[in-house]
Structure 1
């Protein structure tokens, strides 16, 4: 791994080894993951060696949620192994279950469509304070149970007291899950927020925006020892004015928690052209790609294609919108890392390994705390999300108009399906109802040095900048080792490190591909690779917008998983990416330290300072911000 890849591993995926007072090496991280399944008697011999070697060489990646938590944490909370989940907000239990899922580090899609939230009970007409004290235990289940109790009491018009004295103070080490405790203050904030919301709703049901705000506030306070900032997608009706304006005006001043969710319309039929154009106009004016498009009709048609899935479901999706999900269901992800030199045979071999990994991960259904419907749905469909990253680094896989591409994708997809069928029988679980997708692959693509998902590289040569707290031992170590560093102009407590990056010779870059080419490639992957969906962020210029809107209208029965954002080549100070020429690249490369021993990091920290992979709501490359 190069210096930048080492940084990503050490800062995002390496667990702390208390007995040795240091962070894991890459080999130790991989070994911990494969040993987890060996210890479950599911992996041995040549298969064990095959998976370990493929992950070690970064040919294939597992669920990084699974990789981060493999061991005691994952054995205790199987939910932590899953990347994606979805639920309708149709029961008071939706709120506390969603909290628990987020605390396990899993991304959540949710719907506040009126046909679901209308199933919620009415809030009591009057409120009164009670002597009841909710005692909060210091665990994920403790927090979720206390929140469940609060919601039940608020529906009954009772305002309890709460005792947070058992919660560890902010900064205390979380031994099992890794990272640091956030202390009781965020939970107190959430409880007070919900009391206020419910009092305003006295004598009626919660509105869509109130449900949305409660969920976003839950996500706002859930930073599981720094494991991640929660990722959400919120689905709402086209005709919902409250949700249409959720991010209008200066919402960030008073409803800052709303930043945690991407907002999309859930289309239950193809709208009339006037309504569609009006919504596209709002999206254009927002300059933030919201509200996005989730077509339930498209999801149902896609689900029906392979003959293995009940397509008559009110499907939703995960935050990055590559997985088609029932309510109260999980999906795990694995990934084929496409390299420029890959041929059809090497891609088939990688796909086989990725499908084995996904099928192993699908056995993790011993869910604590959640209602049985989560286990039932997850086991029944045993969903996989076998994805590709580095598509735009490859000479053929990046060509949306090539008939050879269609043949390759279908052959590779068939390998995934057959491998899953074989391994599902071997492991005693159901064959997966849907297997293939394309995920955005923000942080993983940086760990393995590939273009992210189906997206192009930033440029042929560029500077990659990352931010770190100056007091973080990793930052202190890197500065001492001679990595180029400067003061963060936006934050006095942060440092900015710069890494020069050279893309593969024949890769596709942002400026080489227009919006319509991106959409054409997306369609090829939807039709010939994905049993779920390809997730893509399409950047458009003003001159392309109407053409893009027309394309989406004409392909509406396919369109689900597309985010649209205006293209900007504006360069600002200390941007995460900055284009440079080959000469500047060589100059910056010469200034990088040589022979850095990353194990020397152990000399700079004597206790756990890991934070885990932190991800923002998946809009416009936010998952690539480090």
Structure 2
């Protein structure tokens, strides 16, 4: 049924550093950060088979140069190894001094045979999805239907019966459309027909730039139709208008007559001004009501503006409102038409009378467009597992609204799971496709899994590296997902679940607490949002239980989705505590719905004060601007797990990082930016094993050259090379630094014969990597000068014995099995702790980086004092969110994360702990196979 593994053309060209350069590197001694913690993190996470730092530097530089050499040879471009040796030497020396570093997966995988043979996916992180058309049941996508299903679609002037059909596998074009400053992508066949201005019909391959596509014809409302009638719908509408808190809105699946009567009942009480055709609703948080009204009106062939919040025309008070029959252009213009390398099954709505139907954005189209496989829940899930097992961080939405049914578990088939990444991924497909009819993979019988071929716990994994975790994590994932799918099919989750609960001491003087595992009985409704989040988090839990480096997840949802907003509320959802930590959760703030989402800022502030969730993604700024105020359109619709890079469908982000505090002077800083840009730009030349990803990378070539140690940089004392640092001087360095990155990438792209990157700079949170360099992570100030830094290490790692022998405090991980948590103490040096930097200043620093350096996003967590700053959180969000692309906020303490990466301690505690363990002796370590971070590796869970 499936063929998960895809091959790439292997890298056969090899670049070798001169022997003199290798010997020079071997004579040097690395200066790891934080008095040895950096070296432990290096050996735990990035050293393959007991590599020393110079071995990794050589492997990374030779691997990077080999990939570029391979691309030049394949493209018949000039290349000479000798002419590249000087640049490669300087790049290696700068890397050895940690003036710049690749991302963690780059240190782990670059220059390995796995990368040469299997592609760049192990060097990148992250991707996204979506496509819809109007039906009488609301917005639907092709993945909601089977071949031959009947449907009612919106034609130009009326609703018409039609049939959904598959037209087999065909070559796809990418059609990019533009309206004002907004862009959308459609994947369609060459001969798909479009209605252009003046009713001319053109096929996809005939469309010209700026060609205007027709939209469906708008039928304006007749306000006289809103009359009182004695019906159930009318009375229900009256009751809702009187008390919207105690009554609910009806489903869009109700009869049109009922919906129309319901609206009439509402408007008989309040909310509709016939003369100006304005529908309004008081209450800043009630925008969702008008969004429902707008959806119903569209089903009734009545169009409106987006939901707006403010003082409506002819009113003297603020409210949510929409305007019926607003005179504004809805037509889209062709921006570009490109042939892709994608061949996929294409689908069409066949409407025999007028041969037309309406897409989500109002575009009237003729027959044949492509299904967007990102709408396929199974495809997205298997992509996620494949990516995570390659060390790729994954972003996912919770937008899936498909159907599932419980299979006949007696009519089953045995599936022997192959002992490979592909085998694990295919087992997931088998399980999900027994419940869901996947557009990509179809449907199959319920599988009975045979785990006998999976190697035992602790055995080495060839290729990617690490050690096997046995089949237990996979089996647990299967059991979890099966239970989630069963619950979804019956509409309720009923189970006994283990969770962790904090028990506080009754001794008021001691005021201590401890976390204990307890059992709870669960019986509750189970929604689409819960299913998607639970399945993706269960996949993450499976991968994180293994002993190879892996990445995080980010879940994206909307502010009006209560299930999404409560995903990490473990009082409401205690059964999620075992898996909920696998993803950061952020809400997407949209502008195309009348800025309605921004009206929820007071609610977001309340939740942040409660538990520090959720984060926020400003999609409007992402799609419109590069650096703040610099218009640079982007087709991205999602972000990577730490929200420093915005991404298009199936796209990966590829990062590198520069550390100004490690650079002795500004010129070293600029050279570090050049080397980091060279690294990331080169990674974009290497294909992945996934065709859908290669298509978007080949177009965007997106990179993210980050800067870390900003707090230390800003605090740098007067020096002959840098001078007295302050924010004014930093802005000068940032502006020139951006110019260096942009010009370097443009030159490298021209040399390689590929497009320049759509985005080039970012500020990432920098977790483990910054520890190697001894720098503060990204844009953040340290939680405190003195802190406990917790490091997670697999129980089977040879590093465990010398750590225990040295007396390093440790305990079992309360969340992830097969893992110890070791506690180190660190001194961040003469840098202001975060508690001494107001959240207003922190926001301002983020805004400075977004304005002067980062044309991607700035990943930032703003820390605040709950008592002192809490009343101002809403004001901060309201003032800064409109100018940023992503941000999260967290109180300095009391957020509820046990065993968090950082914890503030006093100077006395620091000295006591420091004196309790001896220097660590790694000389006895043999056969060390690194294991990766199993909790948040960045700053997002700091205490």
The 2-side partners of 1:326 and 1:407 are apart by 31
Contact 1:230–1:260 under 8 Å retained in 2: no
Q: Offset at 1:510?
A: 1.9
Question: For the aligned residues, what is the CA RMSD?
Answer: 3.5
Contact 1:227–1:612 under 8 Å retained in 2: yes
Which residue is equivalent to 1:19? none
Aligned match for 2:638, one of 287, 307, 316: 316
SS at match of 2:653: strand
Taking structure 1 as reference, are residues 273 and 416 closer, same or farther at Cα in structure 2, changes over 3 Å only? closer
Report the structure number with the largest CA radius of gyration: 2
Deviations 1:575-612, CA, capped at 9 Å, x for gaps: 8545454x997898788767x764x134xx3x4x4233
Taking structure 1 as reference, are residues 276 and 432 closer, same or farther at Cα in structure 2, changes over 3 Å only? same
Q: Offset at 1:301?
A: 2.3
Taking structure 1 as reference, are residues 182 and 425 closer, same or farther at Cα in structure 2, changes over 3 Å only? same
Moved more, 382-391 or 178-187: 178-187
Which residue is equivalent to 2:427? 146
SS at match of 1:222: helix
Which residue is equivalent to 2:674? 352
Contact 1:84–1:106 under 8 Å retained in 2: yes
Which residue is equivalent to 1:433? 758
> What is the number of equivalent residue pairs in this alignment?
596
Where structure 2 has 5 or more consecutive residues not aligned to the other structure, the ranges are 1-30, 70-80, 131-373, 437-442, 492-525, 718-723
Taking structure 1 as reference, are residues 299 and 570 closer, same or farther at Cα in structure 2, changes over 3 Å only? closer
Aligned match for 2:924, one of 596, 601, 619: 601
Taking structure 1 as reference, are residues 94 and 254 closer, same or farther at Cα in structure 2, changes over 3 Å only? closer
Which residue is equivalent to 1:562? 887
Taking structure 1 as reference, are residues 87 and 13 closer, same or farther at Cα in structure 2, changes over 3 Å only? farther
- Correspondences of 1:122-271 after superposition (within 5 Å): 122-124=403-405, 127-155=408-436, 156=443, 158-202=445-489, 207-223=528-544, 225-228=546-549, 230-250=551-571, 251-253=573-575, 256-269=578-591, 270-271=595-596
The reply to whether residue 64 of structure 1 matches residue 104 of structure 2 is: yes
Which residue is equivalent to 1:30? 57
Q: Offset at 1:223?
A: 3.0
Taking structure 1 as reference, are residues 26 and 422 closer, same or farther at Cα in structure 2, changes over 3 Å only? same
SS at match of 1:557: helix
The 1-side partners of 2:545 and 2:116 are apart by 17
Contact 1:123–1:157 under 8 Å retained in 2: no
The 1-side partners of 2:598 and 2:466 are apart by 50
The reply to whether residue 339 of structure 1 matches residue 625 of structure 2 is: no
Contact 1:219–1:229 under 8 Å retained in 2: no
The 2-side partners of 1:490 and 1:178 are apart by 23
The 1-side partners of 2:489 and 2:795 are apart by 47
Taking structure 1 as reference, are residues 47 and 187 closer, same or farther at Cα in structure 2, changes over 3 Å only? same
The 2-side partners of 1:146 and 1:180 are apart by 20
Taking structure 1 as reference, are residues 5 and 617 closer, same or farther at Cα in structure 2, changes over 3 Å only? closer
The 2-side partners of 1:497 and 1:428 are apart by 49
The reply to whether residue 49 of structure 1 matches residue 89 of structure 2 is: yes
Deviations 1:333-355, CA, capped at 9 Å, x for gaps: 10001217754333212111111
Taking structure 1 as reference, are residues 382 and 272 closer, same or farther at Cα in structure 2, changes over 3 Å only? closer
Which residue is equivalent to 2:121? 79
The reply to whether residue 386 of structure 1 matches residue 705 of structure 2 is: yes
Q: Offset at 1:403?
A: 3.6
Which residue is equivalent to 2:798? 473
Contact 2:653–2:703 under 8 Å retained in 1: yes
The reply to whether residue 513 of structure 1 matches residue 837 of structure 2 is: yes
Contact 1:262–1:618 under 8 Å retained in 2: no
Taking structure 1 as reference, are residues 219 and 457 closer, same or farther at Cα in structure 2, changes over 3 Å only? same
Taking structure 1 as reference, are residues 291 and 46 closer, same or farther at Cα in structure 2, changes over 3 Å only? same
Which residue is equivalent to 2:245? none
Q: Offset at 1:310?
A: 4.4
Q: Offset at 1:395?
A: 3.2
Taking structure 1 as reference, are residues 532 and 302 closer, same or farther at Cα in structure 2, changes over 3 Å only? same
Deviations 1:22-63, CA, capped at 9 Å, x for gaps: x11111111111122333453741121122111111010012
Deviations 1:211-267, CA, capped at 9 Å, x for gaps: 111111111111374224541111112111211222224334455212211111111
- Correspondences of 1:254-293 after superposition (within 5 Å): 256-269=578-591, 270-271=595-596, 275-285=600-610, 287=611, 289-293=612-616
Aligned match for 1:329, one of 637, 648, 651: 651
- Correspondences of 1:458-607 after superposition (within 5 Å): 458-461=783-786, 464=789, 466=791, 472-478=797-803, 480=805, 483-486=806-809, 488=811, 496=822, 498-501=824-827, 503=829, 505=830, 507-542=831-866, 543-568=868-893, 576-581=902-907, 598=922, 600-602=923-925, 605=926, 607=927
Give the TM-score, by structure 2 length.
0.58
